[in-house]
Amino acid sequence: MSSTNVNFSCDKLVGCENFPIWYITISDYLKSLKLNLYIETNVTSNITDPTTEMDHNANDAKASIIILTNVIDKIKYYIKDCSTAYEKMEKLKSLYEVDKATFCGMWMKRLYSIRAKSVRDTMEIINEILELFKLLKESLMEPPKIEQITIMYDALPKELKSIVTYGRGIL
């Protein structure tokens, strides 16, 4: 029997600006540990068997500690009185989850502000832009192709912009 170790790295939740990505990351990590049920339903409220209750309480505590270690201290204050991982996540969702239009606005703002500082960062920045385009397309708010091209061009560093504009040089 082999065990799989998952290297987990997640930016801490700081507020609504990073909640969508944080939530996806935490949910998938908990799913990999078979603990996602503890943030999706209030599992511990329906248990009658003492042995099962101990197992569920231990798993709920694991899910809770993963949530608590991945939020900033200010947010811990808001969820400190929640007794289960489900309650913690529901409170976080009520505080930071916003509608699709707001997310799309945040994504568009990010698209217009993202810039590669050097040729070396360009692929990483372009990949981030493409991911944002994908999210916008899934939410049916995809910008027109000409706007996408403009956003990608504007994200390029000066060295690459001149190559694209004037056709000089070889990468």
pLDDT at 24: 86
pLDDT at 5: 47
| Ranges of H-type helices in 33-157 | 37-40, 50-68, 73-79, 85-96, 100-113, 122-138, 145-155
Q: What is the pTM of this model?
A: 0.58
pLDDT at 3: 43
pLDDT at 86: 95
pLDDT at 84: 94
pLDDT at 76: 93
pLDDT at 136: 82
Question: What span, in angstroms and rounded, lies between the C-alpha atoms of 22 and 122?
Answer: 24
For 13, the 3-state DSSP assignment is strand
Q: What is the mean pLDDT of each run of 10 residues along the chain (171 residues)?
A: 53 84 90 93 78 88 94 92 94 80 77 88 90 82 88 90 74 50
